[in-house]
Amino acid sequence: MSKALSDGESDDAAHLTPPAGAGGHDGAEVATLIPMVRRIVHARVGAHPAADDLVQETLTRVLAASSTIEPGMLEPYAIVTARNVVASMWRDTDRKRRNQHRVVDLSTPDTPDKQVMLDEEQSAMSAALARLSDRERRTLLDHEVSGTDTRTLAAREGSTAGAVAARLNRTRARLRVEYVLALERVEPPTDRCRPVLIALSSGDQRRQREVRAAQHVLECETCARLSEPLLERGHQRDDVLRIPIATDPDIVAARSAVRELAARLQFGPTDLTVIATAVSEVCRNIVRFAGSGEVVVELLDEPRRGIQIVARDGGPGIADVDRALDDGFSTYGGLGLGLPGVRRLMDEFAIASERGHGTTVTMTKWERTNDG
């Protein structure tokens, strides 16, 4: 669903039980940002052929980072992200234009450049570590490099494992900020910048409110640019899958991968089958009606443990979302579940569809509690 949310004049969403991620945002909330994002992009690129792609890229990044964004900051983050996405496109275009005259031998890797990049990254990490306090640096290295567990560290310091773990999280957040600053070779222009960047890096929504991060990233160009890599750190997690869907074998692969990821939680055999079946159905819709798309799967910890699946395509969209959600509605001879069946299988479900631009289905299954 590569352009699932790329136009302000959408058929909009049929919002059933909105699936709340760790930050309380869902696809429906992001969908409300479409007109604003489109205005920002078109103000900067006009009728450029990539305009719709830039809108979708912005919305995809906002969705990916939503679990670390406090409710009041979703719109400002979308504004900043749209600006960054457009700026990145112009930088890439300019770089390609300047390098067009060069003849590239693909068989000969550009080893010196790669070594320069590696040296820069190592230098930035060294600088970032140097900016930590001795205690922060020692504890972090003991834990991350030597493998010392938090209980041992706590006993050594006369503290508790929970307190050490919390301090390690704060240290990692600060290290990410210092690393990005060193890599970009910039210094924060104001005293407010570091606290804001650290709050964003840690995903601490309470702290983001305290330092008024939403307002600051709109006013500070430096923090606006640096906020994106800090909030997108979750892309590297091993509890998130991004699965391209284009053929029937992709459906099988997606079903297997999602089932394997879900098995990390305390789902029983029945729930694992339910999740796999729902994934099969939405992936089959992508292949049959859109031709290609992707499924993004994430394990959730808040408000409790569960799994969230977001299926996106850039197909023709759904002409009548309400009818598609009626029991018994199906346009092909598949499992026969259709979207109504998927909705019943999952605990939370939402759909946003836009004529000519695609569909996004978001669904969540929560672990069952002992009391029911």
Averaged pLDDT score across all residues of the chain: 77
Instruction: Tell me the backbone φ, ψ of residue 309, rounded to 5 degrees.
Output: -120, 125
CB 120 within 8 A of CB 171: no
Query: What does the pLDDT look like over 344-355, one tens digit per residue?
Result: 888 998 888 888
pLDDT bracket for residue 272 (50, 70, 90): confident
Residue among 217, 191, 188, 211 nearest 65 (CA)? 217
Residue among 313, 263, 325 nearest 288 (CA)? 313
What is the DSSP code string of 130-176? HTS-HHHHHHHHHHHTS---HHHHHHHHTS-HHHHHHHHHHHHHHHH
What is the average per-residue pLDDT within 9-28? Answer: 42
Kindly state the DSSP code that residue 247 receives in the 8-state scheme: S
What pLDDT, on a 0 to 100 scale, did the predictor assign at position 88? 83
Q: Does 60 score more than 80 pLDDT? A: no
Q: Residues of the chain with pLDDT > 90: what percent?
A: 10
Beta bridge mates, 298:
240, 308
Question: Quick one: residue 356, left, alpha or beta (phi over 0 = left, psi -120 to 50 = alpha)?
Answer: left
192-228 in b/e burial notation, b at 16+ Cβ within 10 A? Answer: bbbbbbbbbbbbbbebbeebbbbebbbebebbbbbbb
What pLDDT, on a 0 to 100 scale, did the predictor assign at position 116? 61
User: Cα separation of 183 and 336, whole Å?
Assistant: 53
CA distances in angstroms from 114 to 110, 179, 357, listed in the order given:
6, 19, 39
**Tokens linked to 255:** 């079903």
Query: What does the pLDDT look like over 106-136, one tens digit per residue?
Result: 444 545 555 566 667 778 888 888 899 998 8
pTM of the predicted protein model: 0.45
What is the average per-residue pLDDT within 302-311? Answer: 86
CATH of domain 13-91+237-366: 3.30.565.10
Which is higher by pLDDT, 346 or 236?
Answer: 346
Residue among 305, 300, 275, 307 nearest 370 (CA)? 305
**Tokens linked to 218:** 């709109």
Q: Residues of the chain with pLDDT > 70: what percent?
A: 79
SS3 assignment, position 14: strand
CB 289 within 8 A of CB 334: no
Length of the chain: 372
Instruction: Tell me the backbone φ, ψ of residue 313, rounded to 5 degrees.
Output: -145, 170
Looking at residue 257, its amino acid is A
What is the DSSP code string of 60-92? HHHHHHGGGS-GGGHHHHHHHHHHHHHHHHHHH
3-state helix, strand, coil in the chain (%, to 5): 60, 10, 30
264-299 in b/e burial notation, b at 16+ Cβ within 10 A? Answer: ebebeeebbebbbbbbbbbbbbbbebbebbbbbbbb
How wide is the angle at C-alpha 71 spanned by C-alphas 41 and 59, nearest 5°?
A: 30
Domain ranges of the chain: 13-91+237-366
Please provide the distance, in angstroms rounded to a whole number, between the alpha carbons at the two ends of the chain: 35
What is the average per-residue pLDDT within 198-214? Answer: 86
Looking at residue 49, its amino acid is P
Alpha-carbon dihedral 270, 295, 257, 251, rounded to 10 degrees: 80
Q: Does 7 score more than 50 pLDDT? A: no
